[in-house]
Amino acid sequence: MTPVFSALLALLIACAVVVACLKNIFQAVIVFAAYSLIMAVLWQLLGAPDVAITEAAVGAGVTSLLFFGTIAKTGGRPQ
């Protein structure tokens, strides 16, 4: 396991813990998008470029946009 891979895994775990602990939903969505991008990089390093592209597009892109749209439509405001 390379140092870069280990660092990304540690950052991934940190993002997961932070998302679970945040009370501000806006910040949680941003950290969740970072989590998805890190996961996409890890998939690429593991040799699965098709899964990496899907994770980046769906996990970080579409899901984040849907979350932000939902926050906007429901009147949620950053606290």
Q: Identify the pLDDT of residue 59.
A: 86
> For residue range 19-60, what is the model confidence (pLDDT) as tens digits?
999 999 999 999 999 999 999 999 999 999 999 999 999 988
Domain count, the chain: 1
- Contacting residues for 62 by C-beta, under 8 A, at least 6 apart: none
37 within a domain of the structure (yes/no): yes
Indicate whether 53 belongs to any domain.
Answer: yes
3-state helix, strand, coil in the chain (%, to 5): 80, 0, 20
**pLDDT value, residue 60:** 87
pLDDT for the residue 78: 56
Whether 52 is in a domain gets the answer yes
Taking the C-alpha atoms of residue 73 and residue 44, their distance in angstroms, rounded to an integer, is 35
Residue 78 lies in a domain: no
Region 63-68: what's the mean pLDDT?
Answer: 92
Q: Which domain holds residue 26?
A: 3-73
